[in-house]
Structure 1
Amino acid sequence: MTTPEELLNRTSNFGRIALVATEGAVEMAKMVDDYLRSWTDDSSRTYLVSSQCPRFSSGDAKGMINETIRGRDMYIFVDVGNYGCTYDLFGYKNHMSPDDHYQDLKRLIQAAGGKAHRISVIMPILYGGRQHKRNFRESLDSACMLQELHSMGVTNLITFDAHAPMIENAVPLMGFDNIIPYYQILKKLKRTFKDLDYSKERFMVISPDEGAMQRNMYYSSVLGVDMGMFYKRRDYSVMVNGHNPIVAHEYLGAPVNGKDIFITDDIISSGESMLDIAYEMKKKNARDIYCYATYGLFTNGLEKFDKAYEDGVIKGVLGTNLTYRSPELSKRQWFYEVDISKYVSYLVAALNGDISISDIIDPKTKIAALLKE
């Protein structure tokens, strides 16, 4: 496999990367820039491009790119889940919503004025990704977003652990890479909890619902352990906050008695489903329970997870730095952050060098080496 150093020091592509970040994604863009610079012969060169989206007090805004991007490969970072960003609106402090972040992304694309060589968008948590199907007269925001970006000249979009991967059908002529950082997750789990036994007799993977089956099947396959799953029994006669409420979680699978459990999903929103499953596993005499979600949103606060940790129901919760983490979350003893910035840097280097990213996306060789450590 070609190393990132070899990719970035090629004369045909060296120096042509332009990293542009919306307000909520500056942290990740800076970390990627640090990696790219460390892989080149001239570490003093930065790939970050100065940009901003200033706002008027009425809430209107504009996108500005403060240096040339003509002929460069532009990678725009956007975190639509970063509610920690604020702006003044008629004297009030307003938190940025996914809509605000998406509009800023479009403003920066417009500011480029068609002068960039290629435009790629790195949007880890997909805008509108949870509204992926139409049951009634409902909008399809994510599909509409993808088609709009394609029409604006975006050539490729990189997302991580999309809630509904089949959304790529909305833009069959645009590059769409949906990536799950399997290796980074298992590395964090293995090196944080060093006493874990990954044998089939002591370890098991649990899918929290039908939608998470594919990622959990991968884990169970590379680890060589059994997998169980829950399915959500819903009350379809009632609608609460736009969806049918969950009546119960029903378990299907092998006995979990005495086994360590790894529960993985794409998003922890309120976290109620994840905790319901953890409590149910404890009732079935599971040993230690480890949870993972690519995006730890915790929209209803952290108190229920605090209690579950104090009661010994969960051993730890892993989450990535692909979206905003509140300062309160980062301080929790039960939360372990999985750094994905180096992985994103590999992807940028490979795309810039027109190299296949198949080996980067499928890490089974690296996982096998990790398990032999």
Structure 2
Amino acid sequence: MQNIKLMEKLLPAAPLKIAALESCKEFGKRVDDYIVGFRQATLEESLDSPLYQSYRQDSYLVSCHCPRFGTGEAKGLIDESIRGKDLYLMVDVCNYSLSYTVNGHPNHMSPDDHYQDLKRIISAANGKAHRLNVIMPFLYESRQHKRTKRESLDCALALQELADMGVDNIITFDAHDPRVQNSIPLHGFDSFNPPYQFIKALLRAEPNLIVDKEHLMIISPDEGAMHRAIYFSNVTGVNMGMFYKRRDYSTVINGKNPIVEHEFLGDDIHGKDVIIVDDMISSGESMLDVAKQIKERGANRVFVCTTFGLFTEGFGIFDDYYSKGYIDRVITTNLTYLPPAAYEKPYFVVADMCKFMALIIDSMNHDVSIGKVLNPTDKIHALLKAHTAD
């Protein structure tokens, strides 16, 4: 990779350390393994200088945890010195599998709990790290990014709070609205997208997929996902369409105006494979309704690509739609917690993000440009060229 060869010639900004919170332990370990592999392959002659004494290690993970008292209160602990280190803190605010007890009662960790634990570990660093970087794949409260009524601005407040605590850079993925970074204009904020990983995973799962205008179409499930669909459409060279949601603004259910109907705008999709692209699946009802309408319009296969598979209502509805032929594949990343049951589903495909995350961390640790990482167009074109040649 071009970035890795560039990093071989440069010193890191400071010795690297990664604090993967409990919500990110397994993912953090795999990211660490990739970085160890990158640096094991570094040219030997580059490592003679004492400036590189902490460059090549067996692991860059630092042990940290947040033990709790019987009341449910907690504290953050870091088990080794991080003075002068370039510290990367990883947290998955959507990992609901973890729990703790409050006066003997079990309580599953919510995004609020994970965010509080992140602040505890930042506090435990006690201002001694050379640089603090937060990796939060699903940006905390990112769906509450703007005010339409007398509402709180939770995401902007969280970003300002992290900046006030000394965080230099915030790294996230597919932010619901990247303009939320305007709340911290003088601090680093990067939102990465996984289109290359989506296409790579899809082509592995469906090696007979034909990527051209006659056989494939990209669909945006709503107007908010248009920019993702436009990029996919342009980079693959196929047409796109979109649905828009007609809502009942006189009613509020679970904090939202219910969707009355999905209306479609676009070319004829009869006989074509279709890729639906969005940032997240929550309950899945909206996405699956779009998939059903696409199938009823004569589409061949329907592939759903989403950065965050939250599956808040379980997999029952997905199983039902798969059995009825409305969906063929659901492709999501491993940036957030996925229950073991997901991997057993015949339609489920994981777009692995560990190597991508490792490259981001290693690039930032060396203070090299991440422009190539942000723009995967060349890699997608090379992937599609190889797929066509096969």
TM range (shorter): over 0.9
In the other structure, the counterpart of 2:4 is 4
Taking the TM superposition and a 5 Å limit, the aligned residue runs for 1:1-373 are 2-4=2-4, 7=7, 12-13=11-12, 16-41=15-40, 45-373=58-386
For the 8 Å contact 2:90–2:134, the answer to whether it is kept is yes
Preserved CA contact (<8 Å) 1:20 1:76: yes
CA distance in 1, matches of 2:151, 2:343: 36
Q: Distance in 2 between matches of 1:347 and 1:274?
A: 30
Q: Distance in 1 between the 2:195 and 2:328 partners?
A: 20
Superposed CA RMSD in Å reads 1.4
Number of matched residues? 372
Amino acid at match of 2:67: P
Name the TM-score, length of structure 2 as normaliser.
0.93
Q: CA offset at residue 78 of structure 1? A: 0.4
- Structure 1 spans left out of the alignment, 5+ residues: none
Match of 1:83, SS state, is coil
Q: Report the alpha carbon displacement of residue 57 of structure 1 after superposing the two structures with TM.
A: 1.1
Identity rate, percent: 51
Q: 1:192 deviation in Å?
A: 1.3
Alpha-carbon offset, residue 5 of structure 1: 6.1
Q: Which amino acid aligns with 2:34?
A: Y
Superposed displacement of residue 4, structure 1: 2.6
Q: Distance in 2 between matches of 1:161 and 1:263?
A: 15
Following superposition, which runs of at least 4 residues in structure 1 exceed 6 angstroms of deviation?
none
Matched letter for residue 19 of structure 2: V
Any idea what the Cα deviations from partners look like across 1:203-246, whole Å, max 9, x if unmatched?
00000001100011000000111100000000011111111110
Tell me the alpha carbon deviations over residues 266-292 of structure 1, each in whole angstroms, 9 at most, x when there is no partner. 110010011100110111101100001
Q: CA deviation at 1:3?
A: 3.7
Where does the alignment leave 5 or more consecutive residues of structure 2 unmatched?
Answer: 41-54
> Residue 5 of structure 1 contacts residue 39 of structure 1 at CA under 8 Å; is this kept in 2?
no
By how many angstroms is 1:2 displaced?
Answer: 4.0
For 1:330 and 1:23, how far apart are their aligned partners in 2?
A: 21
Structure 1 distance, partners of 2:6, 2:191, is: 25
Contact 1:15/1:47 (<8 A) preserved: no
Q: Is the 8 A contact 1:128 1:141 kept in 2?
A: yes
Deviation, 1:45, is 2.1
In structure 1, give the amino acid aligned to 2:282.
S
Counterparts of 1:300 and 1:306, CA distance in 2: 12
- CA offsets per residue over residues 119-138 of structure 1, 9 Å max, x none? 00000001001111212111
Q: Any idea what SS the aligned residue of 2:39 has?
A: coil
Q: Distance in 1 between matches of 2:205 and 2:56?
A: 31
Per-residue CA deviation, residues 84-133 of structure 1 (Å, 9 max, x unaligned), is 01111111111100000000000000000100000000000010011112
TM-score with structure 1 setting the length: 0.97
